[in-house]
Amino acid sequence: MDRLIIFDTTLRDGEQAPGFSMTVEEKVTMAQQLEKLGVDVIEAGFAAASPGDFEAVNAVSETVKESIVCSLARALESDIEKAGEALAPAERKRIHTFIATSPIHMKYKLKMSPEQVIERAVSAVKFARNFTDDVEFSAEDAFRSEREFLFRVFEAVIDAGAKTINVPDTVGYAIPEEFGKLIADIKNNVPNIDKAVISVHCHNDLGLAVANSLSAVKNGARQAHVTINGIGERAGNAALEEVVMAIKVRKDYFKDIYTGINTKEIYKTSRLLCRITGSFVQPNKAIVGDNAFAHEAGIHQHGILAHRETYEIMRAEDVGVPESKIVLGKHSGRHAFKARLEELGYKNLSEDEISMLFEKFKKLADKKKEVFDEDIEALILDELFKSYEEVKLIYFHVLSGNQAIPSSTVKIEKDGQEIIETSSGDGPIDSALKALEKALGITGRLKDYTIRSLSAGKDAMGEVRVVVDFDGTISSGRGTSTDIIEASVKAYLDAYNRYLARKTFIEKRITEGI
C-alpha cells in the first residue's frame, strides 16, 4: 500500500485569498481541527512575510503534536532563518523553500540566469537543513518550465538534501493528461528521484486543480498540496475533501493508494473554516456543499429510498454529514412525499388522503423553490384536521446589554389562560426562549437555528427558522419580524404549535381507530 501524504496549505495559500485572513488564535483553532482530521503536514504560514505570520507559525508549532508543522520560505537565508526560528517549538517540523524555474519568471521577476537559479536553490536547501532534516523544495511555475532544466534543478536539490520536491502548477494552466505526463517524466528523468517524494501543488484557474492532482497521483506523485473547501489564490487550490474522497471512493482505479485522513471529520472541518472566515460554500460544492447529498428529482428520490447506491457513490456519514437529504420541491415524486409524511409522524393516513395531499403539495411546490416541513404540516392540518387551540404570544420583554445579565419576560395565552414567566440566559434570544419554555411547561432541544434577511436596509425583515426536539418529536417553525428576538420567539412558538397539532392529530386518529 502507498500512502498519499496530505499537505494542507489552508493556513498559508488558502489564507492569501482575499477575504480569508485569520487571526493567530483562529489559525491555531483551525490547525487543531486539521490535526484531528489526520492531515500529515500543516503549512502554518509564511514566517518571514509579517510579524503576524511569524507568530501564527510559532503558535501552531507549540500546539500541534502529531502533524508536521511547516513554514514557507523564499530561497533566501533571511526567510529560512525566520522559518526555522518560528518552527523551533514544533515536535515535527518542515521548511518549504521555493524559487521560480519558468523562463518567464526567471526573466521578468527574478532577473536571474538558469545557472543562478540552480545555485540559489541548492544553497537554500543546504541552509534549511541547519534547522531541520525535513526540507521541501518547490520549483515555482514548474509546469511552464523547460523540462530538461526542471530535471536538473530537482536532481541538484535532492543531492543537497531535499526530501520532497514539489511540482506546482502555479497559474492553473495544466491539463490533466499533460500534468500526469510531467510527473511520469520527472520519475523517469531525474536520476536520484528515488531519494525524494514527488509532491504537487495545483491551482484551479481552469477548474482542473483536483483533476490535475489526481492525474499526478496516478503517475507517481505521493504528496498533494490541498486546502479545505479549495480556498486559495485567485480561483483556489485543489480541495482536500475532493482529492481524499476520490482516492477513497475509486479504490478500483487508484489501487493500493490511501490517505490517513479521518473522513468523518471533513464536513466539520469545512464548516469550521466557514465560521472562522465568514465565508460560505456554494450549495453544489462536491462533498461539503448543502446539495452534495440532497435529492429533489422524483426519479432520484425514489431510487435513493429504494437503495441508496442508485444515486449516491458515498455515504453522507462517511464525510461527517448527518444524513442524505430529500428536498421536496416541484420535481419530487409521491414516494418521497409519502416518506416525508411518515418521518413527520403522520403514519395513519389513507392512500386517498395521501393522494389528495400530494396534489395540493404539487400546486404549492410550483409556487415555492422548496417546500419545508411546516408547509406540509400546514397542508395536513388545513385539509384534514384543525380542532386544537394554538398557544398565542401576548407580549415579551427583554433586558440586555454589555454590562447586564440578559433576562426576559414572556406572556402567552394557553388553554384559555394567560401565563407569565421570566428567565435569564446566555443572551437575549436564549433568555427569551427559556422564558417561553417555562410558560409552555416543556423543554425542547434546539437542533437547528437559521436566520436570513427578507429585505434590505437597516429595518430589513428577518426570518428565523428553528428545528426543535420536543419529547423525541422533531418540529420546525418560522417567524418573521424586523426584531430578530421577536422573530426567534415567534419561530419557537410556531414549532411548539406544530408539535401540539401533530400530537392532537395522532391522538385523535388512534382514538378513532384509524
Predicted confidence (pLDDT) per residue in 276-316, tens digit: 888 888 878 888 876 665 544 444 444 444 545 554 567 77
131 and 229 co-located in one domain: yes
User: Measuring CA to CA, how many Å separate 77 from each of 3, 48, 118, 175, 195?
Assistant: 32, 11, 15, 35, 24
Element (H, E) at 212: helix 209-218
Cell numbers that stand for 305 in this block: 429510498
Residue 16 per-residue DSSP state: T
320 and 266 co-located in one domain: no
* β-bridge pairing 68-74 and 41-45: parallel
Cell numbers that stand for 28 in this block: 491555531
Q: Where are the beta strands (DSSP E) in 119-262?
A: 135-140, 164-169, 197-202, 223-226, 257-258
Q: Is 201 among the annotated ligand-binding positions?
A: yes
Q: Last residue of some domain: 354, 383, 412?
A: 383
114 and 252 co-located in one domain: yes
Predicted confidence (pLDDT) per residue in 91-110, tens digit: 999 999 999 999 999 999 99
Domain that holds residue 397: 392-512
226 and 368 co-located in one domain: no
Q: Last residue of some domain: 383, 417, 439?
A: 383
Predicted confidence (pLDDT) per residue in 155-214, tens digit: 999 999 999 999 999 999 999 999 999 999 999 999 999 999 999 999 999 999 999 999
CA distance 301 to 329: 11
Cell numbers that stand for 403 in this block: 454590562
CA distance 139 to 99: 6
Which pLDDT band, with edges at 50, 70 and 90, does 404 fall under? confident
316 and 239 co-located in one domain: no
Whether 431 has a pLDDT exceeding 90, the answer reads yes
CA distance 442 to 436: 9
Whether 511 has a pLDDT exceeding 60, the answer reads no
Whether 326 has a pLDDT exceeding 70, the answer reads no
Q: What length does the chain have?
A: 514
Q: Last residue of some domain: 383, 404, 431?
A: 383
With respect to residue 430, please indicate whether it lies within any of the assigned structural domains. yes
With respect to residue 11, please indicate whether it lies within any of the assigned structural domains. yes
Count CB-CB contacts under 10 A for residue 56.
29
244 and 361 co-located in one domain: no
DSSP letters for 28-59: HHHHHHHHHHT-SEEEEE-TTT-HHHHHHHHH
Which of these ranges, 168-177, 371-380, 427-436, has the smallest mean pLDDT? 371-380
Provide the CATH number for the domain around residue 426.
3.30.160.270
CB 399 within 8 A of CB 425: no
Which of these ranges, 157-161, 203-207, 226-230, 483-487, has the smallest mean pLDDT? 483-487
The neighbouring-strand residues paired with 98 are 74, 138
Of the candidates 58, 61, 32, the one whose C-alpha atom is nearest the C-alpha of residue 47 is 58
496/453: higher pLDDT: 496
CB 328 within 8 A of CB 361: yes
With respect to residue 59, please indicate whether it lies within any of the assigned structural domains. yes
289/152: higher pLDDT: 152
Angle at 244 between CA 238 and CA 245, to 5 degrees: 115
DSSP letters for 354-423: HHHHHHHHHHHHTT-S---HHHHHHHHHHHT---S---EEEEEEEEEETTEEEEEEEEEEETTEEEEEEE
What average pLDDT score do residues 408-419 get?
92
DSSP letters for 66-121: SSEEEEEEESSHHHHHHHHHHTTT-SSEEEEEEEE-SHHHIIIII---HHHHHHHH
CA distance 481 to 463: 7
Whether 384 has a pLDDT exceeding 90, the answer reads no
329 and 371 co-located in one domain: yes
Whether 513 has a pLDDT exceeding 70, the answer reads no
Residues 6+ apart with CB under 8 A from 23: none
Contacts of residues 285-288 at CB distance under 8 Å and 24 or more positions apart, as own/partner, are 285/229, 286/239, 286/241, 286/242, 286/245, 287/239, 287/241, 287/242, 287/245, 287/319, 288/229, 288/241, 288/319, 288/321
336 and 422 co-located in one domain: no
316 and 220 co-located in one domain: no
Predicted confidence (pLDDT) per residue in 235-283, tens digit: 999 999 999 999 999 999 999 999 999 999 998 999 899 888 888 888 7
Mean pLDDT of the residues in the chain: 87
Give the burial string for 255-293 (b: 16+ CB within 10 Å, else e): eebebebebebbbbbbbbbeebbeeebeeebebbbeebb
With respect to residue 249, please indicate whether it lies within any of the assigned structural domains. yes
Provide the CATH number for the domain around residue 162.
3.20.20.70
Which amino acid, residue 458?
K
300 and 272 co-located in one domain: no
- DSSP reduced 3-state for 494: helix
The number of domains in the chain is 3
Residue 322: Cβ-neighbour burial (10 angstroms; 0-12, 13-18, 19+): exposed
Phi, psi of 445 (to 5 degrees): -105, 115
User: Measuring CA to CA, how many Å separate 259 from each of 2, 37, 262, 513?
Assistant: 9, 11, 9, 56
With respect to residue 285, please indicate whether it lies within any of the assigned structural domains. no
Which pLDDT band, with edges at 50, 70 and 90, does 459 fall under? low
29 and 124 co-located in one domain: yes
What average pLDDT score do residues 483-495 get?
90
With respect to residue 283, please indicate whether it lies within any of the assigned structural domains. no
Q: Is 13 among the annotated ligand-binding positions?
A: yes
301 and 258 co-located in one domain: no
With respect to residue 286, please indicate whether it lies within any of the assigned structural domains. no
The neighbouring-strand residues paired with 93 are 69
